[in-house]
Amino acid sequence: MKGYRIEHDSMGEILVPEDRLWGAQTQRSIGNFRIGVGIETMPTEIITAFGYLKKAAAIANHKLKPEKMTSEKCTVICSACDEVINGTLADHFPLVVWQTGSGTQSNMNTNEVIANRGNQISGKEKLLHPNDDINMSQSSNDTFPTAMHISAAIALRDCVIPAVDRLIETFLQLEADNRGIVKSGRTHLQDATPISFSQEISGWRSSLQRDREMLLLAMGPLCELALGGTAVGTGLNAPIGFDTAVAEVLAELTDMPFVTAQNKFHALTSKDELVFAHGALKALAADMMKIANDVRWLASGPRDGLGEITIPENEPGSSIMPGKVNPTQCEAVTMVAVQVMGNDVAVGMAASQGNFELNVFMPVCAYNFLQSARLLAESITSFNDNCAVGIRANREKMHHNLHNSLMLVTALNPYIGYENAAKTAKKAYKENISLKEACVSLGFLTAERFDEVFHPEEMI
């Protein structure tokens, strides 16, 4: 039949597009799982991780089983894997997330593509077999959780943490630029005692630094790999030392401290390392929600809001109200935060479904984890570049709001007591007069004494 070739697997023959490198099992999956096609395909990070994994497995097998994994086979497999890693073969990985819960079809998709591409490179049609060579000493049950850990650890290292670092640097610069500016603090969305603007920014910065620490803490368990456990954790059909050898090669290929998991029965069925790591992503999302909300509240206005800062005006904000500009970067961050929090539920639920020797919710777990990492990294970078770097203090509005705050009365507590200070604030609010006028009229302090003790800028 024109445009197709015949491939076969243990279930028989099937037609595969002649311009595609996948084989029979991939084609069956395409037909059987028409769920989220073209939208919710297996994340590219997983495919890249499989490229590293299969390359490392070939190298380890060549070391331990050279009679089966010959130098020729190993060299060709490594070349094909390099093309998987660099994205050259991206069009040959069409499978959706919503497939078998062990990720078997994606493992076989990888095996078939590497085998067929390797055969093209070698010029020998039957040099490599997807199962016997590319999947040698492996099972989908240990390769997919290994790919999950590789992709998750690399995503944190290469995407999320660098994005966090850039925003931390921006906040450090903003702290330095805004030293000496005192403004009204706020608790319960109500006026509170003064705070310096640099102190407020330092709270944002410190939150991100703590999130960074938690992300780094989570990376340690992610660097423990299931590979070598094969089908149920016993290591059946894998040579002794294969697990350690693969981890060593992966560490060298990725410059990550990958090691083999000490207990493969745990590694195949439990996904607690991903739950823990995604918890750190959720903590980052929660802090970004708070920071973005603070920024848009402080920038609200321009005339009828707080208006204590200005942020970059990036695009028109309304199709009907001319001149309106909205805090769009903040809104994007908060939407991402909501998505990450939802993903955390999915990751946790998926991880809870490890039955006996295998978890069969791994694709959805990987999909949500990597989406969270990707969205956070990209939204933080966008927020930094298009908003945070352009934050500017409105000194006049901050000064006005500070001196209009009734909570400055707290400075009078040591001199007139809490109850009298409360009476002063209530009188000032009710009669729309200053704290000084209220305090003096109530006879608590003279005007001269009030001026001696009342210094808002020194309350920070």
Who contacts 264 (Cβ-Cβ below 8 Å, separation ≥6)?
A: 142, 226, 228, 229, 233, 234, 235, 243
pLDDT at 411 over 90: yes
| Amino acid at residue number 83 | E
Give the tens place of pLDDT for each residue, 334-350: 999 999 999 999 999 99
For 185-206, the three-class secondary structure string (H helix, E strand, C coil) is: EEECCEEEEEEEHHHHHHHHHH
Asked if residue 60 lies in contact with residue 249, where contact means CB atoms within 8 angstroms, the answer is yes
The neighbour count for residue 87, using CB atoms within 10 Å, is: 12
- Note the residue count of the chain: 460
Mean pLDDT value of segment 123-151: 97
CATH number belonging to domain 405-458: 1.10.40.30
Give the tens place of pLDDT for each residue, 56-72: 999 999 999 999 999 99
DSSP letter, residue 246: H
CA angle 31, 32, 38 (to 5 degrees): 65
The neighbour count for residue 202, using CB atoms within 10 Å, is: 17
Mean pLDDT value of segment 177-200: 97
- Cα(216)–Cα(287) distance, integer angstroms: 17
Q: Please tell me if the domain spanning 4-136 has the same topology as the one spanning 405-458.
A: no
CA 218 to chain centre: 12
pLDDT at 1 over 50: no
Any idea which residues carry the catalytic annotation?
Answer: 188, 318
Asked if residue 193 lies in contact with residue 207, where contact means CB atoms within 8 angstroms, the answer is no
- Cα(8)–Cα(17) distance, integer angstroms: 13
* Burial grade of 166 (CB within 10 A; 0-12, 13-18, 19 or more): middle
Who contacts 114 (Cβ-Cβ below 8 Å, separation ≥6)?
A: 54, 77, 80, 81, 84, 128, 130, 134
For 152-166, the three-class secondary structure string (H helix, E strand, C coil) is: HHHHHHHHHHHHHHH
DSSP letter, residue 318: -
Mean pLDDT value of segment 118-132: 97
Going from N- to C-terminal start, the domains of the chain cover 4-136, 142-180+198-224+270-394, 405-458
pTM above 0.85, yes or no: yes
Kindly tell me the sign of the dihedral angle through the C-alpha atoms of 345, 144, 80, 111. negative
Kindly tell me the sign of the dihedral angle through the C-alpha atoms of 146, 150, 151, 153. positive
CATH number belonging to domain 4-136: 1.10.275.10
Give the tens place of pLDDT for each residue, 434-458: 999 999 999 999 999 999 999 999 9
142-180+198-224+270-394 maps to CATH 1.20.1270.10: no
Cis omega (within 30 of 0) for bond into 302: yes
On average, the pLDDT of the chain sits at: 97
Kindly tell me the sign of the dihedral angle through the C-alpha atoms of 320, 323, 324, 327. positive
Asked if residue 39 lies in contact with residue 33, where contact means CB atoms within 8 angstroms, the answer is no
pLDDT at 2 over 70: no
